[in-house]
Amino acid sequence: MQEDDFILHRLADAVNRQERLVWRGRHLNTVFLLECGDTAYLIAVQAGRIESVRRGPFVMPRWQFALRAAAADWAQFWSPRPAPGFHDLMALVKFRRLRAEGDLHPLMSHLLYFKDVLACPRAKGASL
Amino acid sequence: MNASPARFEPIVGRYLHLPLGGRPQRIYVEEAGSGTPLLCLHTAGADSRQYRAVMNDPAILESFRVIAFDLPWHGKSSPPEGWQEETYRLTSQDYAEAIIAVADALALDRPLVMGCSIGGRIVLHLALEHADRFGGAIGLQSGAHVDPYYDLEWLNRPDVHGGEVCAGIVSGLVGPGSPEKHRWETLWHYMQSGPGVFKGDLHFYTADGDIRDRVAGIDTQRCPLWLLTGEYDYSCTPEDTEFLAGRIAGSQWQIMEGMGHFPMSEDPDRFLGYLRPVLAQAARRRQGA
């Protein structure tokens, strides 16, 4: 259900209300693609704030890097207490469940930031 | 009169000068307690502070002389003179030489050796090739080999903050339930590593130190071996440790619930519950009981 879509409707607020998290991303400006199975999102970050989230399908999307995983894998990753191997972005990468593509500089230079941003849907009450 | 809130820990540190690889080195060594010598080896890109809880545990210090040192380039040890002109890369040979040289300098008689991650790998090499020098080996997060699962170049490039990226890479290796205080202290150690040091250690971890074909040769009658691995570790996985246990006759192993890749540092209280009985067994085996 698009109405319940945490990434689309609630991610920006979940990030932007965390002053310290935004501060950690203060030098970060990027647009990245988050692919969750057949659903794609373009997420724009400006000085650590999530400026916009758009949901696909897209005709000619432009992004600096993409994070792609199956919907079932993201669902496990976003469960409140993920099982070993689903509990961290790098764990997903290690087990070949997550593919990171494109210009990875923003991701790797702000890895702790992106880990916290993408952990937001684990919060209590977050439904996907 | 109120007692002073200030207190000293029992850990005492010294600097040891010795040659390694034919070059003078200044090595930081710290120790606490007395009794059976226990030599502790830190993980890649970190230092001896990871063992702070083991070296403050009264029950352990009562019967063990716990020693930890920083490898050259790490923690309070210096890089060798001329370091600015070279790229640091740890090899199996350098690593074993450093451990044995420190043990000799301290005149340790068949110490128990306990290492984590790269330390958990080198204790396998020590048990295989230098069994008579050690009274037993404890491998934390021990695996015979790890394939790199990300581009290691990210760990050392001037346009990415080394401390931030090293901590970012390893943050998920801390078990999700580990206490925040210890999680962030563990990451702080990674944030303080010198440029290229974590990457240089991973040369041993991902390439040079591959021991898959030889682990079956470890004789646990000569050098008993215990393996403790955290269930959330995706670098050295429980399956990697199980692989070892299946090939090394007489090795003993246990998966530590809820823990990740840095047990002694990320959740010391929980880890000590696993470690104390292993140490008691290891001390008995060392004495021939």
Q: Report CB contact under 8 Å: B154, A94.
A: no
Window A:2-21, CB contacts with B under 8 Å = none
The answer to whether A128 and A4 have CB atoms below 8 angstroms apart is yes
Per-residue pLDDT of B8-60, as tens digits, reads: 999 999 999 999 999 999 999 999 999 999 999 999 999 999 999 999 999 99
pLDDT for B59-98, tens place per residue?
A: 999 999 999 999 999 999 999 999 999 999 999 999 999 9
Q: Dump pLDDT digits (tens) for B273-288.
A: 999 999 999 999 999 8
Q: Please report whether residue A101 resides in a domain.
A: yes
Nearest residue in chain A measured CA to CA from B232: A84
First-to-last C-alpha distance (Å) of chain B:
50
CB within 8 Å: B171 and A115: yes
In a domain, A12, yes or no: yes
| Closest to B68 measured CA to CA, from B161, B189, B162 | B189
Residues of A in contact with B234 (CB under 8 A): 84-85, 88, 90-91, 94-95
The pLDDT, as a whole number, for residue A126 is 55
Residues forming beta bridges with residue A107, ordered by sequence position: none
Per-residue model confidence as pLDDT tens digits over B122-181: 999 999 999 999 999 999 999 999 988 999 999 999 999 999 999 999 999 999 999 999
Comparing alpha-carbon positions, the chain A residue that sits nearest to B154 is A108
- Is the pLDDT score of B109 beyond 80? yes
Residue A79 scores a pLDDT above 70: yes
Q: Strands A49-55 and A65-69: what pairing?
A: unpaired
**Which architecture does CATH list for B12-286?**
3-Layer(aba) Sandwich (3.40)
A residues 57..86 contacting B (CB < 8 A): 81-82, 84-85
Centroid of chain to Cα B44: 8
Contact B234 A109 (CB under 8 A): no
- Tokens 């191997």 map to which residue? A85
Give contacts of B205 with chain A, Cβ < 8 Å.
none
* Weakest-pLDDT range from A52-56, B209-213, B259-263: B209-213
- Answer whether residue A14 is part of any domain: yes
Please indicate, yes or no, if residue A25 is contained in any of the structural domains: yes
Inside any domain, residue A126: no
Put simply, the answer to whether B172 touches A90 (Cβ < 8 Å) is: yes
Q: How many structural domains comprise chain A?
A: 1
Q: Which region, left, alpha or beta, applies to residue B240 given φ > 0 means left and ψ of -120 to 50 means alpha?
A: alpha
Gap from B143 CA to chain A (nearest CA, Å): 15
pLDDT at B147: 85
> How many residue pairs from chains A and B have C-beta atoms closer than 8 A?
54
Q: What is the pLDDT of residue B51?
A: 98
Instruction: Flag whether A103 is in a domain.
Output: yes
Model pLDDT, residue B3: 81
Long-range pairs for B23-28 at CB < 8 Å and ≥24 separation? Answer: B23/B80, B23/B81, B24/B80, B24/B81, B25/B72, B25/B77, B25/B78, B25/B80, B26/B77, B26/B78, B27/B69, B27/B70, B27/B71, B27/B72, B27/B77, B27/B98, B27/B102, B28/B69, B28/B70, B28/B75, B28/B76, B28/B77
**Domain residue limits, chain B:** 12-286
Residue A3's pLDDT is 65
CB proximity A126 to B under 8 Å: no
The yes-or-no verdict on residue B289 having pLDDT over 70 is no
A7 is a domain residue: yes
Which member of A81, A84, A111 has the closest CB to residue B168? A111
Under DSSP, the state recorded for B171 is G
How far away is chain A from the Cα of B136, in angstroms, using its nearest Cα? 30
Q: What is the mean pLDDT of chain A?
A: 94
At residue A107, the pLDDT reads 98
Q: What's the CATH code of the domain at A111?
A: 3.30.1050.10
Q: Between chains, do A115 and B150 touch, taking CB under 8 Å as contact?
A: no
Structural domain contains residue A105: yes
Percent of chain A residues past pLDDT 90, beyond the cut: 92
Give, in order, the Cα–Cα distances in Å from B126 to each of B99, B111, B136, B192: 9, 12, 10, 28
Yes or no: say if A71 and A98 are a contact pair by the CB < 8 Å rule. Answer: no
pLDDT above 60: residue A1? no
The whole domain housing A93 covers 2-118
pLDDT for B220? 98
What is the share, in percent, of chain A residues with pLDDT greater than 70? Answer: 94
